[in-house]
């Protein structure tokens, strides 16, 4: 009987934990209610290894491309797909075409992240354009200059050298397995460099990682 009572108590504890987690999902929020941005720059050749027919993989020799400008919470997590969802106007689509490597990605990023910025579509895209102007890509990380392999720490160092105000904890390097996937830079709402919270951290193996190039 004692064992049975113990199992019942454990089940109630676990059920309570599950209920609590379901009541506070990470991807929920109101438009404009967030703490900082993450500017995500995708390493296009890695994406194209698994999406060769995508619009951005048409032999243009991309290196880092815009993945998105993401509203984030300082406590961890992010708002997503916020209401109301304004439609992308023809002007916004034209602006987005100068920033994103494909219209498919533009529409996805606006629907999931841009709607939570509290900005209208064109305002959000202008903000994104300004964010891209803040972050400088080192010469050594441009397409055809980058070596076949680098350490994640080396990539971080090159970004800090090109962006003196970034600080030691202002970005994260993300890998897929042993391959460079993207770099995420933390920016304030005013697009100043800020330190990333623990929820935004590098996710790469120690030592050298592969940096493919799209020829």
DSSP string for residues in 28-57: ---TT--SEEEEEEEEHHHHHHH-TTSGGG
Of 51, 108, 109, 123, the active-site residue reads 109
pLDDT for position 28? 61
Asked if 109 is an active-site residue, the reply is: yes
Distance (Å, whole) CA 195 – CA 188: 9
Q: Which pLDDT belongs to residue 27?
A: 57
Q: Which of 2, 67, 123, 169 is catalytic?
A: 67
Residue 2 appears among annotated catalytic residues: no
Helix %, strand %, coil % for the chain, to 5?
Answer: 40, 20, 45
Distance from C-alpha of 172 to C-alpha of 212, rounded to nearest angstrom: 19
CA distance 136 to 106: 22
List Cα–Cα distances, 120 to 32, 97, 125, 205, in angstroms: 11, 17, 9, 39
Question: Measuring CA to CA, how many Å separate 44 from each of 51, 54, 100, 128?
Answer: 10, 11, 11, 18
Alpha-carbon dihedral angle through residues 189, 192, 197, 201, given to the nearest 10 degrees: 120
Instruction: Report whether 44 contacts 65 (CB < 8 A).
Output: yes
Provide the residue-wise pLDDT of the chain in tens; the chain has 215 residues.
444 444 334 333 333 333 332 233 455 689 999 999 999 999 999 999 999 999 889 877 899 999 999 999 999 999 999 998 899 999 999 999 999 999 999 999 999 999 999 999 999 999 999 999 999 999 999 988 898 889 999 999 999 999 999 999 999 999 999 999 999 999 999 999 999 999 999 999 999 999 998 65
Contacts for 160 with CB less than 8 Å, ≥ 6 apart: 166, 167, 168, 170, 171
Active site residue 51: no
Q: Hey, how many other C-beta atoms are within 10 angstroms of the C-beta on 111?
A: 14
**φ, ψ dihedrals at 57, nearest 5°:** -105, 40
For the whole model, what pTM was predicted? 0.85
Q: In whole angstroms, how far apart are CA 119 and each of 22, 102, 104, 214?
A: 29, 21, 20, 35
Question: What is the CATH number that goes with domain 29-210?
Answer: 3.90.730.10
Domain extents in the chain: 29-210
Q: Where are the alpha helices (DSSP H) in the chain?
A: 2-23, 44-50, 90-97, 103-112, 121-134, 152-162
pLDDT on residue 58: 82
Q: Which of 2, 51, 113, 123 is an active site residue? A: 113
pLDDT attached to residue 5: 43
């Amino acid at each position: 009987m004692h064992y049975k009572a113990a199992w019942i108590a454990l089940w109630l504890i676990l059920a309570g934990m599950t209920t609590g987690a379901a009541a506070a999902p990470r991807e929920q929020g109101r438009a404009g209610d967030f703490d900082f941005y993450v500017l995500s720059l995708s390493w296009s050749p890695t994406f194209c290894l698994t999406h060769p027919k995508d619009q951005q993989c048409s032999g243009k020799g991309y290196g880092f491309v815009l993945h998105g400008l993401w509203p984030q919470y300082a406590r961890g997590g992010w708002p997503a797909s916020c209401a109301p969802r304004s439609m992308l106007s023809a002007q916004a689509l034209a602006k987005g075409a100068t920033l994103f490597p494909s219209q498919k990605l533009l529409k996805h990023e606006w629907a999931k992240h841009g709607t939570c910025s509290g900005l209208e579509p064109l305002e959000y895209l202008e903000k994104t354009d300004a964010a891209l102007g803040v972050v400088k890509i080192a010469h050594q990380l441009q397409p055809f200059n980058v070596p076949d392999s680098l350490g994640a720490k080396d990539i971080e160092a090159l970004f800090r050298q090109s962006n003196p105000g970034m600080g030691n904890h202002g970005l994260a390097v993300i890998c897929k397995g042993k391959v460079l996937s993207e770099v995420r830079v933390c920016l304030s709402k005013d697009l100043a460099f800020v330190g990333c919270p623990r929820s935004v951290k590098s996710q790469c193996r120690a030592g050298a990682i592969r940096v493919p190039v799209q020829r």
